[in-house]
Amino acid sequence: MSSFVVSEALATGFKEGFKAGIIWLVLIAYLSKHDRSSLIRSFHAAVLTVLMATPLFLVYYSGPPAKDAIRNFISFSFSLLLILSAASLYHASGIKPDGPLDRSDSKAFLMNRFILPPLIFFLTVAFFLPDMLGSGSFIKDLAAIKESGRSTYISALAGFASGYLLWSIIYRTLRPLWIGGFFDIPQIFLFLSVTKLLGGGTKGLAEMTLIPSVQRGFMKFSHDFIHQTFVFLMVPDHQLLKTTTWNFIGFFFGPNIAGFAALAGILFFPLLFLYYRLFRPLPDPLAETGAERRKVKSGLLFDRRKKALPVMLFVLLVLGSWFSESGESLSKLYIPKPKPVVEDKGLILIPLKDPSMDIKDGRLHKFALQHNNQEIRLLVINKTGGLSVCLDACEICPPEGYGQRDSNVVCVYCNTPIPVDTLGQAGGCNPIPLSFEQDEQFIKIGLKELLKKREFIPTGAAGEKAG
Amino acid sequence: MPFIDVDNVIKEYDNAHALRGVSLGIEKGQWLNIVGPSGSGKSTLLNLMGGLDSPSAGSVVIDETDINRLNEDGMARFRREKMGFIFQQSHLIPYLNALENVMLAQYFHSMSDEKEASEALGRVGLSQRLRHRPSQLSGGEQQRVCIARALINSPELLLADEPTGNLDRENTRMILELLKKLHEEEHFTIVLVTHDPFVAQWGQRIVTMEDGKIRCDELVCRL
């Protein structure tokens, strides 16, 4: 366990250091190419701020609310970069012709002195802080697993330093400042977005990239949107519309279609940029001779191709990583047999230390309570941040319950996959969450809470079975 | 300072002296013909002006650039930007047609442009022969393709080494008339080497060489 924890901490630290290093290198190359090397100070100041803010935040703010805040912060940061890169790629693609550029000295002075430094600072903080907090929080959890957390923290720091040093050595030995010529503002934003997508995971070696989170998020969004639309339209729960139809609809919520839609959403603007920059005709420049005109045109064409190269590279990187992450096979649905539980003095007790099972093993566990000759099924599963306890039913489908496939629980009725980490959120196709208490021996659920939440389960033939 | 300033240039091959201290200034837009018997050093002088060879001593300055100080890449760039060449042999690529031969010169300069290349061939009277390969063209037509190719990148200097050496009198006249017309329209500088007195009369100035030296330098008097 110990070496596993240390290597996880090392890898997480290395990933963060690697990201910081490569971004520093690209940024310094870009700024020096555009005679703005002095602006690198803003980047350094932001990285220092992040390095100081991360431990402070993690010391004074912890627990599930902090984890939720970090998760939201990461989503915000990635979305912000994605929007910025989409907007700048759209602007640079040439779809909308540029107006005359005002490059007066006073504007340049204002830009270099007052606009760009805080902008670089803000973007750097917005990029690094959520990732560092996410990874820091993960390392904190690792340190808690191990008896002495010191080696975990030291490993993480060593990993960070070596990841950063790697790029520092590359910079000192090869001086690859020429790469700055391949970047403009849109390419920088895209580079940051892709770096975040490919290296923004906060679950150690198990999830180095943000791709599964994006897939899950998009899956959940599309699923809730479509499903709620059907509910809103009051599609009758007719036998003909039962499993087959929902299975069909569920196919669209699944990792294939929804995942592909998320990928298409991410790559839309880069591909649009590539299409316009590579395949649209060049404007005819004004020149005295044909040779001069061709020279200006060939310069433009060369620049277009050069600036398209990183975009193409990023598209390929995202595609490769995306499909390597999407290699989840559709394994058989795992539906455990419910274990009986009893009510005692208004509480249902689920033992945490049952020799016949490990409730924190990440697999789906089901329990059944007999109440007034009716069965009420519960499910318990360990997710990031702790156990989740829900009814084995949602607010929409007839309560046929859930099974588990990979990192999703799947509704047996409509075949909709629900990412395990979203359990505990109420509404839609999610299992109805239950409030509970937990001590060293038991999960304790109030009978009143159970009966109150049972009211949300749709009634009907199938509902009778559970309710 | 003249557009081309050749200053006391010496060129030696082993123990043979091809040029023995030649100095020459050529103004921008001038058509200068270099004449002289075989072995007089006229082609050597032209090669030095084109940066195809380097002098043993002395300097060649073109448009304020000492071309002998340029490295290989710089020289190639300078030639690409400033010069056009026509030789006695057409040196056209045999498996490319007339249009493609001209477009190839465009490509090495910047990028090819079919419309502009067709217009250039039209100006030398070959608009009906665009898709013909060199072997399907007469000697005079091949030289006209060479003129289009040499001028397609709007050079400031056209260097021609016996451009009509392989042509009969009629074709020679046709080529020279064409060069004269283009020279009047585009005002580039021409340095043309010939041993033919008929050709020599077409320029604005004649430099006669003998034994590696300039023997005579005179303006052509046109009545």
Report the distance separating Cα A265 and Cα A253, nearest Å: 15
In chain B, residues with a C-beta closer than 8 Å to the C-beta of A297 are: 110-111
Cα A15 to Cα A196: distance, rounded to the nearest angstrom: 11
Chain B positions touching A289 (Cβ under 8 A) are 154
Instruction: Find, in chain A, the residue whose alpha carbon is nearest to that of B105.
Output: A291
Within 8 A of A290 by CB-CB distance, chain B residues are 113, 116, 152, 154
Distance from CA of A181 to the nearest CA of B (A): 20
Region of A415 on the Ramachandran plot (φ > 0 left; ψ -120 to 50 alpha; else beta): left
Domains of chain B listed by start with CATH number: 28-50+72-204 (3.40.50.300)
Can you tell me the mean pLDDT for A293-311? Answer: 90
What mean pLDDT is reported for chain A? 81
Residue B80 contacts A where some CB pair is shorter than 8 Å = no
Beta-carbon contacts of A14 under 8 Å, excluding residues fewer than 6 positions away, are A159, A160, A162, A163
**What is the Cα–Cα distance from B46 to B80, expressed in whole angstroms?**
17
A451 pLDDT above the threshold of 50: yes
Mean pLDDT value of segment B118-136: 93
Q: Which residue of A has its CA nearest to B109?
A: A295
CB-CB under 8 Å, A294 with B111:
yes
Secondary structure of chain B as H, E, C letters: CCCEEEEEEEEEECCEEEEEEEEEEECCCCEEEEECCCCCCHHHHHHHHCCCCCCCEEEEEECCEEHHHCCHHHHHHHHHHHEEEECCCCCCCCCCCHHHHHHHHHHHHCCCCHHHHHHHHHHCCCCCCCCCCHHHCCHHHHHHHHHHHHHCCCCCEEEEECCCCCCCHHHHHHHHHHHHHHHHHHCCEEEEEECCHHHHCCCCEEEEEECCEEEEEEECCCC
Least confident of A227-241, A275-289, A424-438: A227-241
- Structure confidence at residue A96 (pLDDT): 61
Please tell me the distance from the alpha carbon of residue A184 to that of residue A182, in angstroms, as a whole number: 7
Instruction: Determine the pLDDT at residue B60.
Output: 95
B123-153 exposure pattern, b = at least 16 Cβ within 10 A, e = fewer = bbebeebbebbbeebeebbbbbbbbbbbbbb
The pLDDT value recorded for residue A106 is 59
pLDDT at position A4 is 74
Extents of the domains making up chain A? 2-209+255-325, 339-466
Residues listed for chain B: 223
Q: Report the first-to-last Cα separation within chain B, whole angstroms.
A: 30
Q: Which residues of A touch B152 (CB under 8 A)?
A: 290-291
pLDDT confidence of residue B69: 92
**Mean pLDDT value of segment A180-205:** 88
Q: What is residue A73's predicted lDDT score, i.e. its pLDDT?
A: 87
B110–chain A nearest CA distance, Å: 5
Q: Give how far B104 is from chain A: nearest CA, Å.
A: 13
CATH topology of domain A339-466: Rieske Iron-sulfur Protein (2.102.10)
Model confidence pLDDT, tens digit, residues B180-217: 999 999 899 999 999 888 999 888 999 999 999 999 98
A294 touches chain B (CB under 8 A): yes
Partners of residue B111 in chain A, C-beta under 8 Å: 294, 297-298, 301
Q: What's residue A6's pLDDT?
A: 83
pLDDT confidence tier of residue A114, bands split at 50, 70 and 90:
confident
Contact B111 A297 (CB under 8 A): yes
Q: How far is A292 from chain B (nearest CA, A)?
A: 8
